[in-house]
Amino acid sequence: MCLPTNNRNSVLIVFLLLPYFIFSQSALKTTLLSSWKDSTDLSLGYNDVWGYADDTGEYAIIGSRSHINFVNVTDPTSPYSILKYPGGTTTTWRDIKTYGHYAYSVCDACAEGIHIFDLSNLPSAVTHVNQVNSFFGNSHNIFIENGRLYAVGMSGSNDIMVFDLISDPVNPPLLDSIDLDIVMNTGGDMFYIHDIFVKDNIAYASHGYNGYYIWDVSDPTNVSLIADNNWGGYNHSSWISDNGEYAYVAEEVPKGSPMIVVDLSSMMTSGSILSTGTFFDNLTPVAPNELGVTHHNPFVHNDMLFISNYEDGIKIYDIRDPQNPELYGYYDSYIDNDINGNYTGFNGVWGTYPFLPSGILLASDRKYGLQVIKVNPFGCDDSVRYLNDETVSEYKDHSCCVISTPNAKIRNNVNSTYAAELFIYLDSNFEVELGSQVLFNIEVCEN
């Protein structure tokens, strides 16, 4: 709530007024800005979500059982559909990634191959430019790094297919099909990959019940194993810390399995990766009686770990201490289990995307569709920033509010940034001296 005042000469600066959502659910340090569903078919189920940004704005790409949907979220309080493209199959699983001004979509339990979309005509249009289905029909997941598209989770013996997007992003040539059973000489078929993350030509692969394997894919024709481990569950997916020292690994089955923190520091020298701990948090009102919430897809961005947690919605962890994640915030979009009092399985939030330049968070709820969420940055802990006689160079931290004291000044040659979560209040005698550069950045003001 904005600070009340009887001083008519005071200045209250508000850049963004957010609507109040009666339907907003259990939340901590997050705010639902808006949600979106296909208005022509409200019965659709949704799956994965990805994001895209260019000079024209910010966009969400969300899969449904029958379509790939492109949604404009440049105004995060008012998303709207740009294109609803029919994939050709009704399926539970879709996955989308982007490279340059192209988007790539695959699905599982289907025969669609790779759909390729040109995003260069946004915001007015998205164009479907190719469908590549000569190499595979179904793929559970794709990942793109350094101009290579890695497809995994296909039918048959090929565990990874690597495509070159640099030479031709519209019709990418296949660099190699990799059968990891041949690489490891198993004589069987044990290396199906459910999900994959690639960084610096190292692939972090979740092999379901066979565990977590890390592969050197610098040369797709000569892949080698770096390290592996198996913690006993269904190894679903992972993401790596920004410094590359830790992996955050989700095991989807059995229900209620904790997240695993994996130490990667010795993998290159000793071939060893070890769990340094686990963490698990349930949300009320279902918890503490039910402990069966399931982790799905983790993402790391700016010392925050974002986890799509199915029926607990989105959970956000502070990983500034990377071995000891602490629950920082959450947004629970799936209200159904609040009524039932238990976790029923794999409903709720499927995926999330925290990488848009604006900082807004995208999430895909299987029932309720796209969720556009604001996450409070680190630092707003009920603190107040008071402006007095300011001569230091810069403030970057967010506080809950910024207030100028009587006769406050910002001195000459000071380049300052002030950020507030709730309000900025400037006294009538507040001064900025000639030559100073000041930016006031306000996030939200609610009456």
Each residue's pLDDT tens digit, 111-141: 999 999 999 999 999 999 999 999 999 999 9
Task: Tell me the domains of the chain and their CATH numbers.
Answer: 1-23+380-447 (no CATH), 24-375 (2.130.10.10)
- Average pLDDT of the chain to the nearest whole number: 87
Which of the four pLDDT bands, split at 50, 70 and 90, describes residue 408?
Answer: confident
Residue 222 has pLDDT above 50, yes or no: yes
Look up residue 266 and give its two tokens: 């010795």
pLDDT for residue 427: 82
Residue 17 has pLDDT above 80, yes or no: no
pLDDT for residue 402: 83
pLDDT in tens, 267-281: 999 999 999 999 999
pLDDT for residue 118: 98
Residue 428 has pLDDT above 70, yes or no: yes
The 3-state secondary structure of the chain reads: CCCCCCCCCCEEECCCCCCCCCCCCCEECEEEEEEECCCCCCCCCEEEEEEEEECCEEEEEEEECCEEEEEECCCCCCCEEEEEEECCCCCCCEEEEEECCEEEEEECCCCCCEEEEECCCCCCCCEEEEEECCCCCCCCEEEEECCEEEEECCCCCCCEEEEECCCCCCCCCEEEEECHHHHHCCCCCCCCCCEEEEECCEEEEECECCCEEEEECCCCCCCEEEEEECCCCEEEEEEECCCCCEEEEEEEECCCCCEEEEECCCHHHHCCCEEEEEECCCCCCCCCCCCCCCCCCEEEECCEEEEECECCCEEEEECCCCCCCEEEEEECCCCHHHHHCCCCCCCCEEEEECCCCCCCEEEEECCCEEEEEEECCCCCCCCEEEEEEECCCCCCCEEEEEEEEEEEEECCCCEEEEEEEEEEEECCCCEECCCCEEEEEECCCCC
Mean pLDDT of all residues in 413-418:
72
Percent of the chain with pLDDT over 70: 87
Specify whether the CB–CB gap between 72 and 123 falls below 8 A. yes
Percent of the chain with pLDDT over 90: 68
CA-derived radius of gyration, the chain: 24
pLDDT in tens, 324-382: 999 999 999 998 877 777 788 899 999 999 999 999 999 999 999 999 999 987 766 56
pLDDT for residue 420: 75
pLDDT for residue 421: 67
Residue 153, CB half-sphere, CA atoms under 13 Å: how many?
25
Q: Which of 22-36, 100-114, 142-156, 344-358 has the lowest mean pLDDT?
A: 22-36
pLDDT for residue 66: 96
Residue 304 has pLDDT above 90, yes or no: yes
Mean pLDDT of all residues in 426-441:
80
Q: Which of 49-53, 114-118, 405-409 has the lowest mean pLDDT?
A: 405-409
Q: Which residue has the higher pLDDT, 212 or 413?
A: 212
Mean pLDDT of all residues in 297-313:
96
Q: Which of 47-56, 312-321, 370-379, 417-426 has the lowest mean pLDDT?
A: 417-426
Residue 287 has pLDDT above 60, yes or no: no
Residue of 195, 294, 296, 199 lying closest to 241 (CA atoms): 199
Which of the four pLDDT bands, split at 50, 70 and 90, describes residue 18?
Answer: very low
Residue 3 has pLDDT above 60, yes or no: no
Query: Model-level pTM?
Result: 0.82
Q: Which residue has the higher pLDDT, 4 or 163?
A: 163
pLDDT for residue 24: 35
Mean pLDDT of all residues in 27-40:
92
pLDDT for residue 445: 45
Mean pLDDT of all residues in 97-110:
98
pLDDT in tens, 231-246: 999 999 999 999 999 9
